[in-house]
Structure 1
């Protein structure tokens, strides 16, 4: 593996590991056994809110000033947030810096995807990148529980240290290998161009407004809107299951068994990302294969949880590689990559919330079934 890949891959592993390291210890972060459930939820959700709000504007900024600068900012902010979370026990401070950690995530991913989309082996690299992304998520949850006996925040401190090392690589000459050009790519579509380093308008706010106006054409005149909708549906359906499965399975799964099932989903996503990245299959068929696997997993979750989570992870990992590959064929700009990622976070945020409105009248099993059927509706969407 060359240095530029090692630098980017180690960064995504550390970033994702740190983001998930809080999950097993949320009650303690919220104040121990007497911690407020609302506080715990805010600490958890702060990350996703920060990422959702930051993805598009920082994607535009990546096009304006260069991908490498924005990636450096994202990892520096992530490291700072991890440091504060490690040493602070004040819930409000934890919530604020979880939000800032999410902003760091929102800075990192559009620029990272934009860089990878320009590599000659972009599909294979996307598979490898997604493999390390899921490996970080799995490692964060696993080691947070394993190391809790040595100190409740041991895993957070460990991943903060790794993020700091990645920052040093990014700030060195090694980091410059990632993006040798100063500025991001042009956002080109349907005969118009928006230059990231335009001299005509130096206002970032005005440029963001211009991007948003022009992006409506991309959303409705290309496949991008369909791709974005599929990502919302995929992550909404799987997020709905993940957010409710602990309560649903309480009568037949122990906590270690539940933890094992969740870990299997990440491992499956890692493997399927590598396979999808190297497969000689077009992005449309990769997405559809992933959707079938994920929907089958949701159907089976009421009877065979271990197999179900394996299929969900495998399907999600493959589908994401196909979706990002499809987006990169439209545009590899940081703005478009950021806009795509908002679909992921919109699904993760809205799926569980909207699903909870129907949980009372439908019950868990019917709700899971409906979400799987909704996911299969993707087959009625024509992707060219």
Structure 2
């Protein structure tokens, strides 16, 4: 099958809109701990929606869920523009996260049923991160040079509206199994997958969440002006784009890749305020690990909706929990203490990942 470019375009704008608010968080709330809550509310919404969406995509098909998700994203963008009270923003970001979570889970499920899964996963992750990068840079520069801090959000919301109406009229064929299965069976299979792959789920929470911690606290702690914050954070997404596209051509055992990535992440958590190069490296590590994890799951698990729902849930759980936890620890103690707590989690992952059922598995040999 040809590349599903309509999904790449959709994930680009959904992610771009979600990130337009990040560089201007200090202008929306003067409290760092509340800024991290606004940042995390999006990921909390995504976290609670991805697994139900994954299960529903196996039950009812992906297209209807994709349309609903883009509609929710459009609504949240409009609400963010109209009501900017910090407390209200928590709710709008939560709704935005629900939309994004449904989209990512159902779209990855769609991709998981295709033959050329690994390369399509690479393109999808690259498009996702290109959207994040564009949202950061675009909104930061627009805010800096026009003085209108939500102009980037306005533009991305307009484009989301165009994409939404395009998807309403797009005839999408369901990929994957069309058999009807009971809700009880899907619930039981979800439990089995949680147990089978639990080291992988913990890995996603900690390592992906670490990148969210960096994105949440950098605007306040770095002291950079808003347009420079957007550029520095965009380097993380740029590096992830590059490594997402390279991963399908690199043969490496997932356990080894995860262990190396976890150990590399530890010193980066203490030094990312010192240089943008550190942020760049962290983004590169994230790209390698995310595409390899998705590639492994597409081969190892038959029910792709459940697998990608769990994967997305864990990723968003990390992005929701670690920034919020890190922000509170910084408020109560210090930056070093917050980074040490998250680094301890990364070290734990390096130890327990050897129990993962993907040990000895080489994705790229199995999927050609």
| TM-score range normalised by the length of the shorter chain | 0.7 to 0.9
The answer to whether the 8 Å contact 2:137/2:231 transfers is: no
TM-score (norm 2): 0.82
**Aligned match of 1:322:** 292
**Matches of 1:89 and 1:357 in 2, distance apart?**
26
Q: Report the 3-state secondary structure (helix = DSSP H, G, I; strand = E; otherwise coil) of the residue aligned with 1:75.
A: helix
Is 1:267 the counterpart of 2:238? The answer is: yes
After superposition, the C-alpha distances for 1:208-264 in whole angstroms (9 at most, x for unaligned) are x653343222222x3x222111101212333344444456545xx666655443221
**Matches of 2:218 and 2:150 in 1, distance apart?**
25
**Aligned match of 2:191:** 216
Aligned CA distance change for structure 1 residues 367 and 92 (closer, same or farther; 3 Å): closer
From 345, 351, 361, the counterpart of 2:316 = 345
1:43-58 to 2 correspondences below 5 Å: 43-58=38-53
Aligned length: 352
Is 1:239 the counterpart of 2:239? The answer is: no
After superposition, the C-alpha distances for 1:330-374 in whole angstroms (9 at most, x for unaligned) are 134212211111111222223244455497386466556545534
1:38-117 to 2 correspondences below 5 Å: 40-91=35-86, 93-117=88-112
Q: Which has the higher contact order (CA 8 A, sep 6+)?
A: 2
Aligned CA distance change for structure 1 residues 90 and 369 (closer, same or farther; 3 Å): closer
From 192, 203, 226, the counterpart of 1:230 = 203
**Matches of 2:34 and 2:339 in 1, distance apart?**
29
The answer to whether the 8 Å contact 2:65/2:106 transfers is: yes
Aligned CA distance change for structure 1 residues 77 and 256 (closer, same or farther; 3 Å): closer
Aligned CA distance change for structure 1 residues 381 and 311 (closer, same or farther; 3 Å): farther
**Matches of 1:265 and 1:239 in 2, distance apart?**
11
1:358-373 to 2 correspondences below 5 Å: 360=333, 363=337, 366-367=340-341, 370=344, 372-373=346-347
CA shift at 1:312, angstroms? 0.5
Further displaced range: 320-329 or 276-285 = 276-285
CA shift at 1:36, angstroms? 6.3
**Matches of 1:249 and 1:49 in 2, distance apart?**
25
**Matches of 2:271 and 2:90 in 1, distance apart?**
36
**Matches of 1:254 and 1:261 in 2, distance apart?**
11
TM-score (norm 1): 0.79
**Matches of 2:45 and 2:304 in 1, distance apart?**
21
After superposition, the C-alpha distances for 1:72-117 in whole angstroms (9 at most, x for unaligned) are 1101111122123223345555433322211111211111001111
Q: Report the 3-state secondary structure (helix = DSSP H, G, I; strand = E; otherwise coil) of the residue aligned with 1:152.
A: coil
Aligned CA distance change for structure 1 residues 336 and 37 (closer, same or farther; 3 Å): same
1:173-252 to 2 correspondences below 5 Å: 173=170, 175-176=171-172, 179-181=173-175, 185=177, 197-198=180-181, 207=183, 211-220=186-195, 222=196, 224-245=197-218, 249-250=222-223
Aligned CA distance change for structure 1 residues 92 and 37 (closer, same or farther; 3 Å): same
CA shift at 1:138, angstroms? 1.1
**Aligned match of 1:191:** none
**Aligned match of 2:363:** none
CA shift at 1:118, angstroms? 1.7
Further displaced range: 89-98 or 56-65 = 89-98
